[in-house]
Amino acid sequence: MGRPWDVDDSLWELIEPLLPPWPDKSPGPRPVPDRQCLQGILFVVHTGIGWEDLPQELGFGSGMTCWRRLHRWTEAGVFDQIHQILLAKLNAANRIDWTRAAMDGSHIDAKKGGAGTGPSPVNRAKPGSKHHLLCDGNGTPIYVLTSGANVPDISRAVDLLDGYPPIAGRPGRPRRGFEVLLADKGYSSEAFRQACRERGTEPIIPKPKTPGIKGLGKLRYVVEQTFALLHQFRRLAVRWERCLDIHDGLVSLACALICWRRLIKWTDQRS
């Protein structure tokens, strides 16, 4: 088994065509190959070290080289595209559970501030962010948004439903809506319930000051598992990037890797 930051040939075949070409007459020395830069980015994402601490002896180039490539690829939407491609492949393999979805939010510290941060209600008002996550019934990450830590979950709920492109991979039109949405009392709003139904999704959300819906916690547990997988990438468990787009690009990359692992596991089980 390779190192977690290694990019195997089959994954690279999917990613390479998405990367913007390097200018033919760019000034300066010959750039570090894209594949090595991607592995350097993955090294930082997995280990959580600072960009300036990336060991050059690993052959990934300097941390700033990898950061600049990351910035360039984020602007081109590379990581969002690979996430969507892998979701389509999982859908083609019938590995997306369209019968239900779950959403929730999770706080993280934001050490350097920046856009998408705010006083954390769970950490003495220190700067923090919140990941808002939508996953399917299997815990596959469908879409993640980042906001300030003080932003209520309900305020980004409709954005989670509408923010991702329809998922292809099956005959007919690409699909977006899930049959049922599971969420906790933080999402209790008649306006949001109506928004779900307008999108063909039945909300199962307990109301405040009422007993919880029996068995809902067991069904919703997949979203907590997905957060655990996402935050195993140490660079995402604590936010260090001041630029929100860079942080979100790393989140999309992590979601794509989770999808890739599930696709490989399913392929290995069939063989």
Separation between Cα atoms, residue 197 and residue 203, nearest integer Å: 7
Q: Are residues 147 and 115 in contact, defined by beta-carbon separation less than 8 angstroms? A: no
pLDDT for res 267: 85
Q: How confident is the model at residue 212 (pLDDT cuts 50, 70, 90)?
A: low
pLDDT digits (tens, 9 = 90+) for 9-26: 999 999 999 999 877 666
What residues does 106 pair with on adjacent strands? 131
Residue ranges per structural domain of the chain = 9-21+29-75, 96-240
Position 230 pLDDT exceeds 90: yes
Burial degree of 208 (CB within 10 A; 0-12, 13-18, 19+) = exposed
Domain 96-240 has CATH 3.30.70: no
For 43, the token pair is: 């090294």
Interval 123-176: pLDDT, tens = 989 999 999 999 999 999 999 999 999 999 999 999 999 999 999 999 999 998
Which pTM was predicted? Answer: 0.93
> Taking the mean position of all CA atoms in its chain, how far away is CA 153?
17
pLDDT tens-digit readout, 70-86 = 999 999 999 999 999 99
- pLDDT greater than 60 at residue 41: yes
Q: Residue 25 is encoded by which pair of tokens?
A: 């007459």
- Residue-wise pLDDT for 177-199, tens only, equals 999 999 988 999 999 999 999 99
Percent of the chain with pLDDT over 90: 77
